[in-house]
Chain A
Amino acid sequence: MSPARQLKVLQKTDFDRLLLWLDPNPEHAGELYEKIRWRLIAILASRGCCVPEELADETIDRVARRVTDIEATYTGDKSLYFLGVMNNVHHEYLKRPRLAELAPPPDDSVAKEQTYLCLDKCIEKLTPHAREVIEQYYAADRRAKINLRKRIATALGISNSNLRLRALRIRAKLQVCIERCLEASQTAR
């Protein structure tokens, strides 16, 4: 077996062990893993890191490789262990010589079109009420937005802040649906 293949197999084993350490239930473990990765990325981005996803994955890899050593003795919130490792990874990143600052990739018109198509599909999947809320929430222009949102909130019998929360929750569901749709379309290509 080549060293590269050996490493890959090792990582797969470590990754499975990591999930098992997080939660014996594979479904819960998967959800927890996704949450931890999102938190790591959010924190690294907030610290101004240009490659937050890369460093988050590096953090998870390191934790996965150490699970064998710590699983017997570690107590407390397991997700906090990731925060400690992430601090080290970020510290090392800051010491790296800075190459040219990475700019976000340019707009991809094909991806834009695909996002639009997925948005249409996902809006269709919403309940009529949710669709109405999201349509009205995004319909008004900048100036009229505040007034319109007040009217929608009054019509729904809820406060302005609750309307915002409701619309954002629907929007979050839309986001998940769109991401899945985009993944599916990429696989189909």
Chain B
Amino acid sequence: MITNLHQPKFSDAAIRRFLLGQLRGNDLSAFERALFCDSSLEQRTRLEEIALADDYATRRLRDKNLNAFIQTFRFTAARRNQIEVSMSLNECFAPRAEAHRAEKSLTFKHPVWRWALAAMILIMLFATVWLVMKEPQMVKVPRRFLHSNAPVTPTPEVAHHAEHATEPGAHRDELPPAPSHEAALDVIVLDSAVSAENAPTVTLATLSDKCHLQLMLDGTSSATFLAELMTSRGELVYSQELTTAAGENRISFDVSRERLVGGDYQVRLTREPDGNLKTYYLRVR
């Protein structure tokens, strides 16, 4: 005679593991038996089944769980229908979120901003050409556009013209030795308080193989984040899970140079598990 008195309790995570075929041995036997005896467990399992279909439809399942889902979950007609409904629900209601996002990025789409941006790029281009023509050694100027936290290198000191120079009239500017940490110049510090209009600009030509971003944080406690690099239109370019150690007020996010093209970008940093979201803006030229 089976009673409900000694039914094991199963967490939502255990139910999910059962549905994904990840429960084994005694755990699986106990769960199967409980499913037949405990109607509340059955109800919870039915709801978790729907939640899984939702997660699949919204692409929130990853790696091991996604593989398990594909291998075990979709073999019943009812579940396939659940996935269909989840997808339809997302298609039905997601456009609102898209519209909201489009509104947010409207600042870049507005014709006035586009013209202003185009004019600014032209001015910068002419200024660069003029500078290069005037002082060829100033080709390295674009690096100054980078908002860098790298140690400040000494400004070039103009060499004193020797009173008795062997080559009279020769103009010898002694450039400082090249910095030993060349990559450090590629570090760009982003602050979520900086608006899209005032976003720092990265010049692709000055980047090495990677663009090293440092995202300023509010707190200094250890946490895990999901960093997503997106275009201004919300297209995901690259994402990475990051973890900070306690005491750090910034987090490093490296993006391969090949992923970047000229344009406006935003980095969305979501703290897990509370979902706190920060947005950082960046321009690439």
Contact = CB atoms under 8 A, between A and B. Distances in A.
B58 interface: yes
B46 A172 contact: yes
Contacts of A182: 81
A158 interface: no
A141 B94 CA distance: 6
A68 interface: no
Interface in B18-58: 18-21, 23, 28, 32-33, 35-37, 39, 42, 45-47, 49-51, 54, 58
A171 B19 CA distance: 18
A143 B268 contact: yes
B148 interface: no
Interface string B75-107: 111111110110011111110111001000000
A79 interface: yes
A9 interface: no
Contacts of A147: 275-277
Interface residues of B, number: 57
B147 interface: no
Interface of B: 1-2, 18-21, 23, 28, 32-33, 35-37, 39, 42, 45-47, 49-51, 54, 58-60, 71-82, 84-85, 88-94, 96-98, 101, 228, 268, 270, 274-277
A146 B270 CA distance: 10
A141 B95 CA distance: 9
A116 B88 contact: yes
B232 to A, nearest CB: 15
A93 to B, nearest CB: 13
Interface residues of A, number: 57
Contacts of A115: 81, 84-85, 88
A175 B93 contact: no
A110 to B, nearest CB: 12
Contacts of B58: 142, 145
* Residue from B20, B51, B71, B97 whose CB has the most chain A CB atoms within 10 Å: B97
A17 to B, nearest CB: 21
A45 interface: yes
A43 interface: yes
